[in-house]
């Protein structure tokens, strides 16, 4: 049977459950786009910039069971998308980077777009593939998509030479995918040791990353049986329900409120599942955990990497949690502990609810109104900087996949295209972007795509006229704000240009009406820009913790030098 190679690619994508691709067509892949246009189940989405394509595809993977696909031309298409690919790599997000290669049948050098793009992609992907013949395409795409989703997820790249798309091939039989290998699981001895360590501890704590999501239900039951307090990483937000009386915080150590730090100091056994103890998750490594750590992860290389672990378990989180639950016996309810956690959260709520500066909106009021008016399964996307940490600290979410942001690579420009991607992948759920006004300048034009396709997010632009978190750091340590103040621009003009509804709010009292109006429009298919005059006068726990941690890490001479400089600049006006 003769079949065009572009149709082979589309058939492989359909088999992998792909429903969207994001990119810009070029001369090298017009046959592929033609085949995608004929697909009954895949929608190719035209973006304004390939960086946004990678963020949209990333959000598709984070919020749904669908594999996000970046579909780009050689050379510049790849390098434009590289930031989002690196974000997916650092944040363990499955992604298929489908790119063309130059022609391999001409024997000519110095072709259009001719760079070694797989060498460029190799450091930020789990694997790079190039089919040697058209008959290899089906197998290669299957291996790539399986690799993207297996183990610790991440992006993979497949380069298909442009000349393959111009050819039809005789295929003797259809490719039959092999059965995937089972995930690793714990040994009986590891489960027995883990159960003993936890039940013998006086103050054990559960610390969960996004990698713990497969075992979330069993881990919740373990926590209930043992009155085991639970914290998560930023990416793990929602893995443990945040309305539960045993939930602590997103983060541990100096970047968390005092009641969490105090409990961590008493911790004599830390059960850490699906996390890497990375810099952002730990607030710049802002704590020294107990040496009695049980570290469980599906990626063996992360075990004990930053903090030594007494018990290292290379396992899928679901298999580990299920085996551990079978060995856990219920203990008396620790009422005093639960009461202290409740009091701690009440103190945090009081701290966050201080009235804003006149003419501005308080973060507490913004997020409480968003959460109250939006659906329970709403998806919040954030950007590099204050927006991520404000959302992390104010939102209370009940399951994973409702909060996504650029964490370990921390790439600006993520939130708007990510919200659009989430709207494509999860129609019927509110998609809400929390964008800084600096980050919006990078990818805000992608709202044209949202308006065209009716994938309509509610975009709340935190307007302060500067790169907020960087300016805070600069003023704290330098008493300066060099290159962090933005040039003025009109959000209303941007909304008009991109086909969005514009709304503005500068007081807590007006938030409810403005957000309700905005959600009414997005649910009807029209994207909305809300200009929020935000009050950043009160720093987040995360920002305060990171500044404190890094200051005290400096030698005494540099601490004195930095303090002296800040004081002299302030006194000098």
CATH level 2 (architecture), domain 2-170: 3-Layer(aba) Sandwich (3.40)
- Selection from 85, 142, 148 nearest residue 118 by Cα: 85
126 close to 55: Cβ distance less than 8 angstroms = no
Using the structure block, give the residue that is written with the tokens 């650029």: 406
Give the count of alpha carbons within 13 A of 439, CB side only. Answer: 32
Q: What was the pLDDT predicted at 559?
A: 80
CA 278 – CA 309 distance, rounded (Å): 15
Task: Give the dihedral of Cα atoms 474, 419, 357, 250; nearest 10 deg.
Answer: -70
Q: What are phi and psi of 16, to 5 degrees?
A: -80, 0
- Selection from 466, 412, 455 nearest residue 434 by Cα: 412
Domain-by-domain residue ranges, the chain? 2-170, 188-343, 354-542
For 82-106, b/e burial (b = at least 16 CB within 10 A) is bbbbbbbbbbbbbbbbbbbbbbeee
- Can you give the pTM of this predicted structure? 0.94
Q: What was the pLDDT predicted at 480?
A: 74
Question: Along the chain (573 residues), what's the average pLDDT of each consecutive run of 10 residues?
Answer: 85 96 94 95 98 98 97 95 98 97 79 88 97 91 96 97 81 71 96 97 97 97 97 97 97 94 95 96 92 97 96 98 96 94 96 92 97 96 93 96 95 97 97 96 97 97 81 70 82 97 97 98 97 93 90 84 78 69
Q: Which CATH superfamily is domain 188-343 in?
A: TPP-binding domain (3.40.50.1220)
Distance of CA 240 to the CA centre of its chain: 17
- Selection from 378, 529, 532 nearest residue 446 by Cα: 529
2-170 and 354-542 agree in CATH topology = yes
Q: Which CATH superfamily is domain 354-542 in?
A: Thiamin diphosphate (ThDP)-binding fold, Pyr/PP domains (3.40.50.970)
Q: What was the pLDDT predicted at 20?
A: 98
Q: What was the pLDDT predicted at 1?
A: 65
């Amino acid at each position: 049977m003769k079949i065009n190679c572009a149709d082979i690619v589309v058939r492989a994508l359909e088999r992998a459950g792909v429903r969207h691709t994001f990119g810009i067509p070029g001369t090298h892949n017009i046959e592929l786009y033609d085949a995608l246009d004929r697909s009954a189940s895949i929608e190719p989405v035209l973006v304004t910039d390939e960086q946004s394509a990678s963020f949209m595809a990333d959000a598709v993977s984070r919020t749904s069971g669908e594999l996000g696909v970046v579909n780009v031309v050689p050379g510049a298409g790849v390098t434009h998308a590289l930031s989002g690919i690196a974000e997916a790599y650092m944040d363990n997000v499955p992604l298929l980077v489908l790119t063309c290669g130059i022609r391999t049948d001409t024997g000519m050098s110095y072709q259009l777009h001719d760079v070694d793009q797989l060498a460029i992609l190799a450091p930020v992907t789990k694997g790079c593939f190039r089919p040697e013949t058209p008959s290899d395409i089906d197998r290669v795409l299957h291996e790539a998509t399986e690799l993207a989703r297996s183990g610790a997820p991440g992006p993979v790249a497949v380069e298909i030479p442009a000349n393959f798309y111009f050819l039809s091939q005789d295929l003797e039989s259809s490719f039959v995918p092999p059965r995937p290998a089972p995930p690793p699981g714990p040994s009986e001895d590891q489960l027995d040791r883990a159960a003993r360590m936890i039940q013998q501890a006086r103050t054990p704590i559960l610390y969960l990353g996004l990698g713990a999501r497969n075992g979330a239900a069993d881990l919740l039951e373990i926590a209930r049986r043992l009155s085991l307090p639970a914290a998560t990483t930023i990416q793990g937000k929602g893995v443990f329900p945040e309305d539960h009386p045993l939930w602590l915080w997103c983060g541990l150590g100096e970047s968390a409120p005092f009641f969490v730090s105090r409990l961590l100091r008493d911790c004599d056994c830390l059960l850490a599942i699906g996390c890497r103890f990375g810099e952002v998750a730990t607030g710049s490594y802002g704590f020294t955990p107990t040496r009695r750590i049980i570290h469980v992860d599906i990626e063996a290389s992360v075990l004990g990497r930053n903090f030594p672990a007494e018990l290292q378990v290379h396992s899928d989180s679901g298999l580990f949690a299920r085996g551990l639950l079978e060995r856990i016996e219920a203990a008396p309810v620790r009422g005093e502990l639960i009461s202290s956690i409740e009091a701690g959260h009440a103190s945090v709520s009081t701290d966050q609810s201080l009235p804003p500066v006149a003419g501005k909106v308080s973060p507490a009021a913004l997020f409480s109104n968003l959460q109250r008016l939006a659906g329970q399964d709403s998806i919040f996307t954030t950007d590099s900087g204050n927006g991520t940490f404000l959302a992390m600290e104010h939102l209370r979410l009940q399951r994973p996949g409702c909060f996504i942001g650029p964490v370990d690579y921390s790439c600006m420009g993520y939130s708007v295209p990510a919200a659009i991607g989430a709207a494509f992948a999860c129609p019927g759920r509110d998609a809400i972007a929390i964008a800084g006004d600096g980050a919006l300048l990078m990818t805000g034009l992608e709202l044209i795509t949202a308006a065209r396709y009716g994938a309509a997010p509610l975009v709340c632009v935190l307007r302060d006229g500067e790169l907020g978190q960087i300016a805070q750091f600069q003023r704290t340590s330098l008493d300066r704000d060099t290159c962090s103040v933005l040039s003025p621009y009109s959000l209303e003009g941007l909304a008009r240009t991109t086909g969005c509804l514009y709304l503005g709010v500068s007081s807590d009292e007006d938030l409810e009406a403005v957000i309700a109006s905005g959600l009414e429009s997005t649910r009807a298919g029209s994207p909305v820009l809300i200009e929020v005059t935000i009050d950043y006068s009160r720093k987040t726990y995360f920002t305060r913790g990171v500044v404190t941690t890094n200051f005290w890490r400096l030698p005494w001479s540099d601490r004195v030098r930095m303090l002296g400089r800040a004081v002299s600049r302030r006194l000098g006006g």
